[in-house]
Structure 1
Amino acid sequence: MLNFQTLAVGLAIGLGAIGAGLAMGLSNGKAYEALGRNPEAANAIRPNFLLGLVFAETIAVYSLLIAMLLLLH
């Protein structure tokens, strides 16, 4: 029988992964759109784009950490 702890773990990691995936997909699309419009600005766009990807990835890492804490507690 499925208890609420395993349900919470599944929701934590699932929703965190969905959020991170959407954030990274949208930021990729907008960055490539900006590069397509203005290729000369690649050196200015790239660092901000990578920093945004790092922040989006932390959503997935934090949700994994929360899921592990829920599972092991």
Structure 2
Amino acid sequence: MLSLIMLQAAAAGLSQLGAAIGAGLAAIGAGIGIGKIGGSAMEAIGRQPEAAGDIRMNMIIIGALVEGVALFAVIICLLALYA
């Protein structure tokens, strides 16, 4: 496995490998972040059902911000890959 990665790095260049790893890490980080946001929001709604509307609105706003940051990271990695 490691030898395959090393061969790909030698063939494609380390910048392309770094860009691909960076895009993958950005996507994984966004998934983990949104999962934590959703889990925490469900716990909060379970504790205070009367505040469900406010919690849901904040969850959607924060989720959109996390997705925006992840999109910027992936785009920067793709620019590094193809530029």
Q: Give the alignment's TM-score, normalised by structure 1.
A: 0.89
Unpaired runs of 5+ residues, structure 1, are none
What percentage of aligned pairs have identical amino acids?
Answer: 37
Please, which of 47, 52, 65 is the counterpart of residue 42 of structure 1? 52
Q: Which has the higher contact order (CA 8 A, sep 6+)?
A: 1
Please list the CA deviations of residues 25-69 of structure 1 after superposition, one character each: whole Å capped at 9, or x if unmatched: 100000000011111111111111101101111122012211221
Specify the alignment match of 2:31 in structure 1. 21
Specify the alignment match of 1:6 in structure 2. 16
Q: Secondary structure at the match of 1:25?
A: helix
Shift of 1:72: 2.1
Q: Highest CA radius of gyration, 1 or 2?
A: 2
8 Å CA contact 1:12, 1:66 repeated in 2: no
Structure 1 stretches of at least 4 aligned residues deviating more than 4 Å after TM superposition: none
Unpaired runs of 5+ residues, structure 2, are 1-10
